[in-house]
Amino acid sequence: MISKKKIEAFIFDLDGVLTDTAEYHYLAWKRLADEEGLPFSRKDNEQLRGVSRRASLDLILKGRNVSEKKIQEMMDRKNGYYRSYLETVSEKDLLSGAVELLDRLKKKGIRLALASASKNAPTVIDKLGIVGYFEVIADGNSVEKTKPAPDLFLYAAEQLNLEPQVCLVIEDAEAGIAAAQAAGMHTIGIGPVERVGAADFVYPSVAEIKVEEII
């Protein structure tokens, strides 16, 4: 049951909500997959939304028998490619309406946290110029168990010193909505209902979120 307590904090996912680094993740995985002779398409890439680096590689490997050493090497190689694509990221890569939403929430006294599965999240938000908005930054290094486990969102709430029931998560991934609900938080899903329809509120994009409708 959804709690009637006032929402005190918004917890933002990064990729797919504030920016779209999914294309860079795709290009980096594609380069690795081509080098390794592994089939990998844009459609396959959709399954990796919000999923950790390790879980993404497992999905690409589809049960192939690969040593732990080789897995680590492949993850490092993909991350090197991804980071080279990140070099050109700047404020121009913020999704439409993202900064306006952060500003509006700040003015309303809502506390803000970031909770991204990405170990590169601090670099990305620095390049986007939005570090100053967040009181708490939870990333792929903050917890062991990644989305759809609730751990990352619970960690963010704990750092804010707030109960989960007064937190609202904005996510673009099915695994992210599941994680936030498992944490006992309110949810906004960004994207098609087929993907994020389980959320309390669904909007096609961040620019269309109506804050007054929610808090």
At 144, list the tokens. Answer: 């062991």
Structural tokens at position 29: 């995985």
Question: Is there binding between residue 111 and ligand B16 (CB under 6 A)?
Answer: no
Does 150 contact ligand B16 by CB under 6 A? no
Nearer to Mg ion, 139 or 172 (CB): 172
Binding mask 172-191 for Mg ion (x = CB under 5 A): xx------------------
Q: Which residue among 33, 40, 98, 116 contacts ligand B16 (CB under 6 A)?
A: 116
120 in contact with ligand B16 (CB under 6 A) = yes
Q: How far apart are CA 89 and CA 108, in angstroms?
A: 29
Q: Does 187 bind ligand B16 (CB under 6 A)?
A: no
Kindly tell me which residue out of 10, 31, 32, 50 binds Mg ion, with binding defined by CB under 5 A: 50
Number of residues interacting with ligand B16: please give it, by CB under 6 A: 20
Active-site residue, selected from the candidate residues 15, 139, 151, 172: 15
Select which of 13, 139, 151, 172 is catalytic: 13
Site of tokens 């969102």: 153
Q: Letter for the amino acid at 64?
A: R
Spatial distance between the Cα atoms of 211 and 49, rounded to a whole number of angstroms: 25
| Nearer of residues 116 and 187 to ligand B16, judged by Cβ | 116
- For ligand B16, the closer CB: 104 or 119: 119
Please say whether the beta carbons of 88 and 200 come within 8 A.
no
* CA–CA dist 144, 149 (Å, integer): 10
Among 11, 14, 33, 185, binds ligand B16 (CB under 6 A): 14
Work out whether strand 111-115 and strand 186-190 pair parallel, antiparallel, or are unpaired.
Answer: unpaired
The rounded distance, in Å, linking the Cα atoms of 153 and 116 is 9
In the annotation, is 103 catalytic? no
* DSSP-derived 3-state class of residue 175: helix
Residues from 84 through 123 that contact Mg ion (CB under 5 A): none
Residue 19: strand, helix, or coil: strand
The catalytic site residues sit at 13, 15
Binding interface with ligand B16 (CB under 6 A): 13-16, 25, 48-53, 56, 79, 116-120, 140, 173
